[in-house]
Structure 1
C-alpha cells in the first residue's frame, strides 16, 4: 500500500508553518494536493524537511502552494532544491490556450492561412509531379532499372484482390438500378427500357465511378499508409542513402498499376452490374436473362463503352497520385499517417467526381453523349 503524503499546520509567534511529511511522488500526492488547495488563511513557511523522496510532480505542488501564499520553503534537500528551481524556471502565468480573437479578426486570419497553405500545397504538388516526370525519363533512358516485379505485385493488389468486393458491389448496384428504373418506367408502360437504362448507366457512368470510389478507399488509402509508415520509420531515407530513388521504387509501380487495372476493373464492374440488372429483370419483369443480355448489344452504343474506358486510367492516375503524395508528406508521428490516409481518400474521391462531371460535359460536346 502507498504511504500517502500529508501535512500539519503549526502556529508559533504569529507565523503559520505548513509541515509536509511523507513521500512527495506522483503516486502518493493526490490527497495532499487536494487538501493544500482547500487550505485557507495566511501561510509564512512550508517545511518539507520530513518529506522524502520527491519527484517533479511533488516539487510542482509545493512550489505552486508556496507561490500562492507567498511563503518560504524550508528544509529542502539538495534534490528538492534542484527540482524546485527547475519547476520555478518553467512556471508561467500564460493561458494554456490563446484567447480567441474577435470574429472580424479570426476570419481574415484563417482565410489568409488557407490561401498560404494552398500556395505551399501547390508548390509541393508541382515538386512531386516533377519528381515523377524525372523518374519516368530516367526509366526511359535506363529501362533495366524498371521494377517489373513491383509493378506486377501492385497490379495484383489493386486489381486481382479487388475483384470480389467490386463484383459484389456492382452486382447489387445493377439490381438497384434495374429495380428502381422498372418502378418508374412502369408508370408509362415502358418497362422494356429498363434494359437501356441499366446498360447505358452501367457502362458509361456508374461502373467506372463506383469502381474508382472503391479503389480510392481500398488501394489509395493503402498507398498512403504504406508509404507514410515507411517515411515514419525512415525507410525512405535509408533508400536514398543506398542510392535507390523512392519515386522509382515506390511511386511509379503504384501509379502504373492503378492506371492499367482501372479500365479492366471498370469494365468488369459494368458487366457485373448488367448481370445484376438481368437477374432482377427476370425475377420482377419476366424478361428472360439471355434476352436481356442480347438486347444490351442492340440498345447500348459502343461509344458508352469507350467513354468508360477513357475515364478509367485518368481516375486511376488521380487515385494513385493522391495516395502516394499524401504518404510522402507524412512527418512526425503515427497520428500523421492516419490523417494523411484520410486526406488521400477524400481528395481522390473528390477529384474523381469533379473529373467525372468534366468528362460528362466534354463527351456531350464532342457528340458522344
Structure 2
C-alpha cells in the first residue's frame, strides 16, 4: 500500500465522497495536495472519509481543513467520516488557528520612518514623565505622613541604608576627590604660572571645590554606586513578586523601600559631600605645599580668606536636593522592572543615565533661586 493516497470522488446523486488512506503527514502530503486542489467543487454534499488513515499530523490536518474550507466556500456542505477523536481535535485546532495575519506595512519613506520614531519616543517620554511624577507624588505623601507620625518610620532600614550609602562609600569618594584636588591645583598652577599669579591657585581650589566640584563629583559617584543598587535591588524584588507580596499583606512598598532610601540619601550625601570637599582641599593643599612651597598653615589661612560663606551654603543646599533626586530615580526605575532579568539591567542603566539629566535641571533651578536670594 502506498504511504498516502485517496480514492477518486464517488458520486451518489448530489452527494460525493473522498476517502483518504495511509499516512497523512508532512512527509507525504505533497503527493496528493495538488490532486486534491485540482478537484472542482460539485454536488450538494461532500463526505471526507478518514477511517483508513494510519497517522495524521498538523500538515495533514491543515490539508483537510483547507479542502473543507474551499468546498464550503462554494456552498457545499462538508462532513467528516471515520475520523478518530485525536484527528478531529487536531483538525479543529488547526482550523481555529488558521486566520489571516496582519503584517506591519513598511514606511513609505525614510522621513516617515524618522517621524514615526520621533513620535513614539515623544509619547514614551511623556508617559514616563507622567509615571515618574505620579511616583514622586506618592512618595511625597508617604514621606509627609511618616514625618508627622501617621506612618511608621523604619529606623533600622534607615540606619542600614545610611551605612550602605555613606560609610561604605567614604573610601572611593575620598580617594577620587583627593586626586581631583591635586589635578585642579596642578592644572591651575601651570596656567597661572604664565602670569606670575601662582598664589591664586588657592582661590581656584577653594572656590571650585566648595561650590561645584565637591558635591557634583560626590553625587556622580553616589549615583553610579547607590542609585544603580536601588534599581537592581527593587527590580529583583519585583521579579520575585516580593513587592506584590508586601502589598498583599497590607504593607506599603513606598514606606518600606523608598522612604528609608530617600531620607538616608539626602542625609548621607550632605555628609559625604562635605567629606569629599574636605578631601579635595586636602589634595590641593598637598600639591601647593610640595610644588609651590606654601606651608599648610598659610594654605588654610588663604582658604579662609578666599572662600565666601555663599559658596559653602550653595554646596550644602544642593547636596540634599541631589540626594532626593538620586534616590527617587533609582527607586522609580526599580519599580518599573517587568518581564525578565534583562529588564533589571536596562532599568539599572536608565537609573544612572536619567539621574544626570535630572541633576542638571535641579542645579539650574537651585542656582536661579540662590541668585535671586543674593547668594
The two structures have a TM-score, normalised by structure 2, of: 0.74
Where 2:289 maps in the other structure, the secondary structure is: helix
Match of 1:280 in 2: 287
1:78 maps to 2:78: no
Seen in structure 2, the aligned counterparts of structure 1 residues 81 and 197 have a Cα distance that, compared at 3 Å, is: closer
Deviation at 1:298, TM superposition (A): 1.8
- Greater shift, 236-245 or 141-150, is seen at 141-150
Where 1:332 maps in the other structure, the secondary structure is: coil
Alignment partner of 2:299 out of 265, 268, 292: 292
The two structures have a TM-score, normalised by structure 1, of: 0.75
Where 2:353 maps in the other structure, the secondary structure is: helix
Deviation at 1:197, TM superposition (A): 0.4
Alignment partner of 1:161 out of 168, 185, 193: 168
Deviation at 1:76, TM superposition (A): 8.7
Match of 1:211 in 2: 218
Cα deviation per residue 1:120-178 (whole Å; 9 max; x = unaligned)?
22321222122112312432454561100001111111111010000000001001000
Deviation at 1:103, TM superposition (A): 1.9
Seen in structure 2, the aligned counterparts of structure 1 residues 77 and 282 have a Cα distance that, compared at 3 Å, is: farther
Match of 2:159 in 1: 152
Deviation at 1:117, TM superposition (A): 1.9
Matches within 5 A, 1:51-200: 66=30, 78=55, 80-81=57-58, 85=62, 99-140=106-147, 142=149, 145-200=152-207
Deviation at 1:253, TM superposition (A): 0.5
Alignment RMSD:
3.3
Seen in structure 2, the aligned counterparts of structure 1 residues 188 and 361 have a Cα distance that, compared at 3 Å, is: farther
Question: How far apart in 1 are the matches of 2:229 and 2:182?
Answer: 30
In our comparison, the structure showing a higher alpha carbon Rg is 2
Match of 2:46 in 1: none
1:349 maps to 2:333: no
The answer to whether the 8 Å contact 2:159/2:264 transfers is: yes
Seen in structure 2, the aligned counterparts of structure 1 residues 357 and 66 have a Cα distance that, compared at 3 Å, is: farther
1:202 maps to 2:209: yes
The answer to whether the 8 Å contact 2:145/2:151 transfers is: no
1:232 maps to 2:239: yes
1:309 maps to 2:320: no
Question: How far apart in 1 are the matches of 2:60 and 2:291?
Answer: 80
Deviation at 1:77, TM superposition (A): 5.9
The answer to whether the 8 Å contact 2:142/2:151 transfers is: no
The answer to whether the 8 Å contact 2:262/2:328 transfers is: yes
Question: How far apart in 1 are the matches of 2:192 and 2:201?
Answer: 7
Question: How far apart in 1 are the matches of 2:116 and 2:186?
Answer: 51
Match of 1:261 in 2: 268
Cα deviation per residue 1:106-129 (whole Å; 9 max; x = unaligned)?
233222222322332232122212
Match of 1:39 in 2: none
Match of 2:250 in 1: 243
Unaligned segments of structure 2, at least 5 residues: 1-21, 37-51, 63-89
1:333 maps to 2:333: no
Unaligned segments of structure 1, at least 5 residues: 1-47, 52-58
Seen in structure 2, the aligned counterparts of structure 1 residues 197 and 101 have a Cα distance that, compared at 3 Å, is: same
